[in-house]
Amino acid sequence: MVFSSILFIFRFLPIALGIYYLTPKKYKNFSLLILSLIFYSWGEAKYFLIMISSIVVDYFVSRGIERYRERKNIKISLLCISVCFNLGMLFFFKYFNFFIDNINSILGLALNHVKITLPLGISFYTFQTMSYTIDVFRGKVKAEKNIISFGAFVCLFPQLIAGPIVKYTDINKELEDRKMDINQIEEGIELFILGLGRKVLIANNIGMLWTEIEGIGFSNISSVLAWLGVLAFAFQIYFDFSGYSLMAIGLGKMLGFNFPQNFNNPYISRSITEFLRRWHMTLGSWFREYVYIPLGGNRVNKGRLVFNLFVVWFLTGFWHGASYNFIMWGIYFFILIGIEKLGLLKFLEKHKVFSHIYSIFFILIGWALFSVTDLSQLKILFIKLFNMTGGIDWLYYIRNYGLTLIIATLFSTPIIEIAYKKIIKNKLINTVILMCIFLISIAYLVDATYNPFLYFRF
């Protein structure tokens, strides 16, 4: 069940909010836990026990760490249980068949695949629960004594499937005592509608351009159309994911939680370093806090710094999927960041126009790497991008998608956001705008069959 669906908007959400608001304060976490488990089980009933296991294991491990805090060996052993359990689940469901393929290829074997599907949200909630036990181990937070409250944190439905990655330290106080007022609920509704508009009206429409180009086949298109396709994918993945994140943040506010920001206009960046600080911010924050800094961060010699960056970006790429193109994507950004840290950043800071052109070009190359998991097709796409194959096929798509591209470009800058902040000072006008966005989005969902969500596969 995705947020941008008629089923969620008109059935699950109003019923869930009605139950939640009517539940006495003392039992709100319990109602939230049950509603979140129902939401998760709607499409993944067979993996219900995995979610319960994740809650139980990390709850008791954290309580054990708290109890044996002065006994270092026991404390370390318990942390290892949590990390191995979480990473073990992630490895089995997401990467097991990938390694089987590689073993077969290297050793000439014929080992069979395990017939499994990737549980929704496993890449996100395993990181959340793992960060919790690590924080308890560090003494950053105390172990949650109430298993209901902890369960509500683990499977909180607004951010369960695709983030933002919400750490326990982000909402632990709100789990115990959160206040909701009409202004916060109104703000949540507003953010949800704005996110819905980004997802449905921009991402879905521009995504159809990329899907059409994929359908034609990269070997059958001109170089201009290849670049147009990569640009369409760049807009699709941004508005798809940022829109979904905005809906999640809005839903969180409706329930009394304040989730961290996940995107900050990444396409206005003047360097790849800046772009990655603005893109999927909660994932970047997680890797920085739990991988990069423990490795030594940037307070090390240059050789170790290169190693630290390589580990972080290799893992970041591999986190996105069991495919070599994601690993290449991570290493690609590692190389660019390394070059920038060696001195390119100083040059970019002095040349404003060039720095924007440089950033957009290399960001698009990155999305080309990210977009195609079949390496043979990825090779063809890159040949098309750079061999300057002529043709006028792109004119047809510019005619059909030109307006959508212009809208996507404008909304990927702060221009619209700045204008909107001026408009919302008039509450009536703001209400009318939000109602229009909502009604048009619903009309689109009723009529359209194209409504993918790219981050479901991660």
Q: Rounded to the nearest 10 degrees, what angle do helices 223-255 and 182-197 cross at?
A: 160
Cα–Cα distance between 174 and 6 in angstroms, integer? 30
Other residues' Cβ atoms within 10 Å of the Cβ of residue 347: 13
List alpha helices for 68-139, DSSP H: 72-90, 96-107, 122-138
Q: Find tokens 């993944």 and name the residue.
A: 44
Q: Which two tokens stand for residue 349?
A: 């800071």
Catalytic residue among 280, 320, 351, 356: 320
Peptide bond before 260: cis, by omega within 30 degrees of 0? Answer: no
Active-site residue 351, yes or no? no
Cα–Cα distance between 349 and 310 in angstroms, integer? 24
Closest of 14, 2, 5 to residue 121, by C-alpha: 2
Cα–Cα distance between 183 and 399 in angstroms, integer? 43
Q: Which residues of 4-22 are buried (b: 16+ CB within 10 A; e: fewer)?
A: beeebbeebbeebbeebee
Q: Tell me the C-alpha to C-alpha distance, in Å, between residue 422 and each of 102, 196, 417, 429.
A: 55, 21, 9, 11
In degrees rounded to 5, what are phi and psi of residue 299?
Answer: -90, 50
- Beta carbons of 302 and 342 less than 8 angstroms apart: no
What is the 8-class DSSP label of residue 118?
A: P
Note the Cα 278 to chain centre separation in Å: 12
Long-range contacts at 415-419 (CB < 8 A, ≥ 24 apart): 417/265
Catalytic residue ranges:
320
